A = this chain, B = another copy of it.
């Protein structure tokens, strides 16, 4: 059986390299046909690799530098000794099937688009993020790869999101277009044109226009939008979540008799709530439209989040996601 090889940016993220290595081992335990290339300073990584049944499936690709979390993304292409760049090169050179990084988001995006490279015929890559919803999760695409979007891009995002949803187990994914109302004539010139394109490409799988409330609490599997609106929506969710948590905590103080037990209860409930609302639980963001599986894990990932990100990349390779997108979007 052909094993799946994933290049892990061992020095990307706030808690690197320890949690990255720990996450790698968690993934290796879970998937027997997985091999991981740890990319980063060899002398720092070696001591972190303990002898275990998994050790034979892990190897190190030396990279001397780290691409800083706050660095200007465009500089990645000039920093060829960074663990992020070198991990991306592994995919470009077909030495690995996928790239996983918890590093600088813009940097990972640059690595995906300009090192791994876009699928021929795909104009724009997109970030697909799983946001919590009453169905478990909804795929939001584009979550922020591009600020501006043309209708043709939204059309491609629809196909990317559809295939990604199938990969994640949704049998007949429904795709919605983010708009200000459900009627077809609603919205801007962009959404009106995108509506026609999506209808044409996705047929019955296109559920038409959806609204902001449908991202967290709707019935579609995929919500298509420009990177600008995806970013606004994601961060609005974050702000609303913070306000609600803060408000509930205040309630504790006012809750008299209930105070003590209420606090205990709420501590637990908010803990689980945070988990529900935390995208990193879902394995990070998949960068779609490029010639390899590229997954961005949260910068503050712990070992579990790194493992989840590796799992998503593994599933992407196993499910031939890139090939399916090349067939549907390639050479358009």
A229 nearest in chain B by CB position: B232
Q: Across the interface, do B215 and A277 meet the contact criterion of CB distance under 8 Å?
A: no
CB-CB contacts below 8 Å: A265-282 with B = 265-266, 268-269, 272-273, 276-277
Name which of A134, A239, A241, A246 has the most chain B CB atoms within 10 A of its CB: A239
User: Interface size of A by Cβ–Cβ distance < 8 Å?
Assistant: 55
For residue A43, CB closer than 8 A to chain B, the reply is no
**Residue-wise interface mask of A (223-246) relative to B, using a CB-CB cutoff of 8 A (1 in contact, 0 not):** 001011101111111111111101
For residue A188, CB closer than 8 A to chain B, the reply is yes
CB-CB contacts below 8 Å: A168-221 with B = 178, 180, 186-189, 211-218
For residue A262, CB closer than 8 A to chain B, the reply is yes
A99 to B265, CA, bound (A): 46
Q: Across the interface, do B269 and A251 meet the contact criterion of CB distance under 8 Å?
A: yes
Residues of B within 8 A of A227 (CB): 180
The smallest C-beta distance from A174 to any residue of chain B, in angstroms, reads 16
Q: Which 7 A-B pairs have the closest CB atoms?
A: A212-B235, A213-B239, A212-B236, A216-B239, A262-B265, A217-B239, A251-B269
Query: Which residues in A have some Cβ–Cβ distance to B below 8 Å?
Result: 132-134, 144, 147-148, 178, 180, 186-189, 211-218, 225, 227-229, 231-244, 246-248, 251, 255, 258, 261-262, 264-266, 268-269, 272-273, 276-277
